[in-house]
Structure 1
Amino acid sequence: MSKITGAKAFVKCLQEEGVDTIFGFPGGVIIDLYDELANSSIKNLLVRHEQGAVHAADGYARASGRTGVALLTSGPGATNGVTGIATAYMDSIPLVVFTGQVPRALIGNDAFQEVDIVGITRPCTKHNYLVSNPEDLIPTIREAFYLASSGRPGPILVDLPKDIISSMVDFPEREEIRMRTYQPHVEPHPGQIAKACQAIVEAKRPVLYVGGGVILSNSNEELTELAEKTQIPVTMTLMGLGAFPGTNPLSMGMLGMHGSYAANMMVAKSDLLIAVGARFDDRITGRLDKFAPDAKVIHIDIDPTSISKNVVVDIPIVADCKHALTAMNAWFNSQKGFDINALAEQYQPWRNQVNEWNEKHPLAYIDEGEIIKPQFVIETIDRLTGGDAIISTEVGQNQMWAAQFYRFNKPRHWLSSGGLGTMGFGLPAAIGAQMAFPDATVIDIAGDGSIQMNIQELATAKQYNTPVKVAILNNNYLGMVRQWQELFYDKRYAGTVMEVTPDFVELAKAYGAAGLRAKTKSEVEPVIKEALAIKDRVVVMDFAIKREECVFPMVPAGGATTEMLLV
């Protein structure tokens, strides 16, 4: 086979991996790549900021389950993408981020737009590469895609020197990728599965604690089967929302700092905690010595370094969640003479207690007439979309209200920055999700502070006809920090007052989008209905919510999860 340029090889590799969409911003060192992409069938979205490119690729990956791809130029183009890479890393999202680099001969000479992006991103990538030889280009790209999506997923960075891109290379046949130092353990140990299932049989107060690993491994059906078979109540992390139907009677919603009263209480009082694809994050556990103090802990995770990292585990199961849950369901089905209905009856007093907690302290808010409550906005969006919309969020109060009051019944319909808490994530992530599912209703629930972090991506949405809807919960504050200042700093609102806020309706129009506004409660539903009826344009909805509304329940920093501040 005759040699081809590195740029042609790059595009062929993307096509080989089934990539249909990439997000990026061009520059001098990657101009050859853009020239080749223009001749391909791959959709290439020009974002307005490199952070937006990586977030959009991230949203594409979260919604579709496929690996997202971003292409950034060297120097500031690469460094602008670091926040997006770190966001994906914290949430285990499969991405391949390509960055341009100065020619090899200039590396280390402080050349124009040179930066050591491999060194910068080493702590926040699953792995990264600097391609130093032309013959390594194609194997590196193939390996990058394999690493991004296998085992515990994550972002991979590939740094491409300009002369590598323009060099002539062979395009070898694809071979199975084998890496001696990287062999994810997918299948669970049968003995550990038996121990876990036996612990479930012996438990009186079990809880299924479910994280984003269930969604990443596409094991929501297996999880639902186990929960319904055993009638064990379920709680989800922020990243796990949608892994189990939110409207199912066994669901107690989210746990943790802003979790439901029932979820936090049942974890605290449980005698068996079954953690599936979750990592015992500090926002979940609160004060560690008070977290599930009487519970035996089962932990299923594909990453062995996550097990017993924060909470000591009694029964570790290192495996892919889908394989482990399949094995657990099979164990219960294979036990001769075992009455699964008796097990469900065994837990009936426990479920009664959990339901009593839920009825006593449900997620709630105080209705104040025509004042718009943000929770009401979320509930109305849920009702009018039938719970079928793909919801992205920014970060802050808007994120927590969406997590609490939108009931997610399906996986991959909730896109939110969990581990890093990245403001500006929601809009570009929504664009990425809309590219993956052009016919879906995609809504970014935002705050007036965080939406301005990447509001320039309205131009991207307009240019590529991605009709995302943006619901801004506008209180003229950086709301979550303001809430802490109200509760713990005697209402000294230092640095959290948004004294200058744009007219979002007029700003939307400037970007060619539709702009709508609701100032009273009675205007909320008509505005949302009008927005949903506009199928071919971006819509920005500006809701003037109660300025000092707080997110409750709330566990103060350093407190136990049972020490909740309630409405």
Structure 2
Amino acid sequence: MTDEPTRHHGGRLIAQRLKAQGVSRLFTLSGGHLFSIYEGCRHEGIGIVDVRHEATATFAAEGWAKVTREPGVAALTAGPGITNGMSGMASALQNHSPIVVLGGRAPAFRWGQGSLQEIDHVPFVRPVVKLAATAGATPEIPGLVDEAFAVARRPHTGPAFVDFPLDVVFMEADAPEIVEVAAPRATLADGAAVERALALLDDADRPVIMAGTNLYWGRGENALQALAEARGIPVFLNGLARGCVPADHELAFSRARKTALGEADVALVVGVPMDFRLGFGAAFAPDCEIVAIDVAEPAREHPREVAAELYGDLTSTLHGLSGTGPDTKGWVAKLRELETARREAERAELEDPRAPLHPMRVYGELAKLLDRDAIVIGDGGDFVSYAGRVVDSYAPGCWLDPGPYGCLGSGPGYALAAKLAHPGRQVVLLLGDGAFGFHGMEYDTLARHGVAVVGVMGNNGIWALEKHPMEYLYGGWSVAADLRPETRYDEVAAALGGHGELVRTPDELRPALERAFASGAPALVNVLTDPSVAYPRSSNLA
């Protein structure tokens, strides 16, 4: 006699492949199209974390990826569940965050007859993901889930989407043998390009490293730090690369970036596009030789000519550029003197006594309470821009922001995932009062799941990122840029099961922050900040 093959419904087949891929949590908002997946996760021991809006589920999946460097997973119900989650998918695409989004779908056998939430998701999801597909039959499910993870993990990493018709996911099929998941194979950079880059570095008097998010995804931080130390190259970091070289390392800089990039003779641009954040390449001097280094070829052409392009495994590439060149001590000393002077110049703002508070005073007090491995999440405009300028990171995965897609409302999902992934670490959510309006109800989610995130709000009663530039452009006139002054968002957090406090003066701030950290509950410190303070911007968004 032969054993009958084990049969499972589609949701169990999905959950088995999630477990094989190392998934421990699924972020979701309840929907009938997903019941089979939930039941499968219950059998396979995968935790289900339910939120109050599908956008948060997708952002939580991205947040999980950002703090673990493993794919995060969200499950969204059909129709509006998918459309609600699309901003998170678009964000993950631009941030190269590996996530897998599982969608519900109206039943295939009734297609075209007007089932509840019947719509073909694939055509409109496809532009914001690396893969968009529909399971055609129950036996296809395991292979399709594995394909989604393989695509999400393949450089450039990013989001993958698969939806499952209601009938297909509820029907049964033979369960395949559970197979191990192999890591994607790393490619190596072109040897001739490496030699070209070596020749440039060997003659560089003023080299600089500008590294970004893909350094983090490519796990290249140790090799980058070794290269910088071997050649004495100053390092600047943005995006998820912040913390990949500790902020207090002798070669780590932030305040001297404009001078360093503008005067460098050779720039290693590692895992970061020359987009608006780098002036579309104009942040570097016209005669600077640029070496573009990344895990894979970019999706679009560089906005200026580069001297060498090195695409492949970052560890081997960066180790291959090690060596000795001209003495850079004078160059590094010049930048350190400038860095120190600019940090010293910030002191007056960090200690500003005004009330309502200057945003910098908030960060001056907060910095005294942060652990070295605290995870800080930015979700706002001007208030978070100040944080990006002065909050230092000392380890990879400690600074999360929306990235170049700039989608406000990502913060609560990021914070939820970060604290679940690292329950023993401080997780601090920096919020503008405008950003709170997107997904402030997620304080209910944090409270229900016992997730003690500390939120710090800069509440200036305006959309400062829009109001100040609009008034500058139009002679003092602005529209659609005002919020209700002094709104008690702290009381909203308390009503949803958290800890809330209002801060009006600098003297109230430190004690309120200390109580928030000690509360053991999701907390919101609502700090009234001066609406007349405008972040000094110099970048051109377009």
Would you call these one fold, judging by a TM-score over 0.5?
Answer: yes
2:479 paired residue number: 494
The 10-residue stretch of structure 1 (364-373 or 241-250) with the greater mean CA deviation from structure 2 = 364-373
Query: Which runs of structure 2 are paired with 1:408-419 in the superposition (5 Å)?
Result: 408-419=393-404
Q: Give unmatched runs, 5+ long, in structure 2.
A: none
Which residue matches 2:13?
9
| Contact map agreement 2:381 2:464 (CA 8 A) in 1 | yes
Alignment partner of 1:554 is 2:535: no
| Greater CA drift, 514-523 or 237-246 | 237-246
> Structure 2 matches for 1:413-452, cutoff 5 A?
413-452=398-437
User: Does the CA-based 8 Å contact 1:504-1:542 persist in structure 2?
Assistant: yes
Aligned to 1:219: 220
Instruction: Show the 5 A alignment for 1:412-561.
Output: 412-499=397-484, 502-534=487-519, 536-552=520-536, 554-556=538-540
Which residue in 1 is equivalent to 2:295? 302
Deviation at 1:441, TM superposition (A): 0.8
Superposition deviation, residue 152 in structure 1:
1.2
Is the 1:427–1:470 Cα contact (8 Å) retained in structure 2? no
Matched residue of 1:555: which SS? coil
Q: Which amino acid aligns with 1:520?
A: T
> Which deviates further from its counterpart, 46-55 or 290-299?
290-299
User: For the residues of structure 2 that align with 1:100 and 1:296, how far apart are their CA atoms?
Assistant: 50
- Determine the C-alpha separation between the residues in 2 that align with 1:361 and 1:438: 35
Counterpart selection for 2:336 from 352, 355, 362: 355
Q: 1:322 pairs with 315, 318, 329, which one?
A: 315
Name the CA distance, whole Å, in 2 between partners of 1:115 and 1:205: 56
Q: 1:308 deviation in Å?
A: 4.1
Per-residue Cα deviation, 1:276-312 (whole angstroms, up to 9, x for no partner): 11111122225x5564311111111122134743232
Partner of 2:63 in structure 1? 59
User: Structure 2: which amino acid aligns with 1:467?
Assistant: A
Structure 2 CA distance for aligned equivalents of residues 30 and 553 of structure 1: 45
Partner of 1:105: 109
Provide the rounded CA distance (Å) in 1 between the counterparts of 2:270 and 2:541: 25
Counterpart position of 1:236: 237
CA–CA separation in structure 1 for the residues paired with 2:37 and 2:121: 19
In the TM superposition, residue 150 of structure 1 has moved relative to its aligned partner by 2.4
What is the CA deviation profile of residues 499-520 of structure 1, one whole-angstrom value per residue up to 9, with x for unaligned ones?
A: 2664122111111111112111
Q: Output the CA distance in 2 between the equivalents of 1:512 and 1:289.
A: 49
Q: CA deviation at 1:185?
A: 5.7
Preserved CA contact (<8 Å) 2:352 2:361? no
Provide the rounded CA distance (Å) in 1 between the counterparts of 2:113 and 2:363.
53
Partner of 2:124: 120
The 2-side partners of 1:395 and 1:89 are apart by: 20
* C-alpha distance in structure 1 between counterparts of 2:186 and 2:302, whole Å: 18
Q: 1:431 and 1:113 mapped to 2: Cα distance? A: 28
Q: Which residue of 2 aligns with 1:264?
A: 258
Q: 289-298 vs 11-20, which deviates more? A: 289-298
Query: Any conservation in 2 of the 1:26–1:34 contact (CA below 8 Å)?
Result: no
SS of aligned partner of 2:437: helix
Aligned residue identity for 2:50 = L
1:18 counterpart residue number: 22
Deviation of 1:352 (Å): 3.2
C-alpha distance in 1, partners of 2:352/2:97?
A: 40
RMSD between aligned residues? 2.2
Tell which deviates more after alignment, 405-414 or 296-305: 296-305
Q: Are residues 1:38 and 2:37 paired?
A: no
Residues 315 and 525 from structure 1, CA distance in 2 versus in 1: closer, same or farther, beyond 3 angstroms? same
Determine the structure 2 residue equivalent to 1:196: 197
Amino acid at match of 2:269: A
Deviations 1:414-471 (A, max 9, x none): 1111121011111121001111111111110000000110011111101110111110
Q: Deviations over 1:335-382 (max 9, x none)?
A: xxxxx4xx46x2123223323443454462645424322112123222
In the TM superposition, what is the alpha-carbon distance from 1:110 to its structure 2 partner?
Answer: 4.2
Aligned residues: 534
- Matched with 1:274 is 268
- Does structure 1 retain, via aligned residues, the 8 Å contact 2:460–2:485? no
Provide the C-alpha distance between the structure 2 equivalents of 1:292 and 1:135, rounded to a whole number of angstroms. 57
Structure 1 contact 394–447 (Cα < 8 Å) conserved: yes
Residues 207-244 of structure 1: CA distance to partner in whole angstroms, max 9, x if unpaired?
A: 10101111112221111111122111111223422222
Structure 1 residue runs without a partner (length 5+):
254-259, 333-339, 559-567
Looking at structure 2, the residues matched to 226 and 247 of structure 1 have their Cα atoms a distance apart, in angstroms, of 17
Q: Which residue of 2 aligns with 1:77?
A: 81
Check the 8 A contact 1:379/1:406 in 2, yes or no: no
How far off is 1:198 after superposition? 2.3
CA distance in 2, matches of 1:326, 1:349: 24
- What SS does the corresponding residue of 1:225 show, helix, strand or coil? helix
What is the alpha-carbon distance in structure 1 between the residues aligned to residue 182 and residue 246 of structure 2? 37
- What displacement does 1:147 show? 1.4
CA distance in 2, matches of 1:275, 1:109: 53
3-state DSSP class of the match of 1:305?
Answer: coil
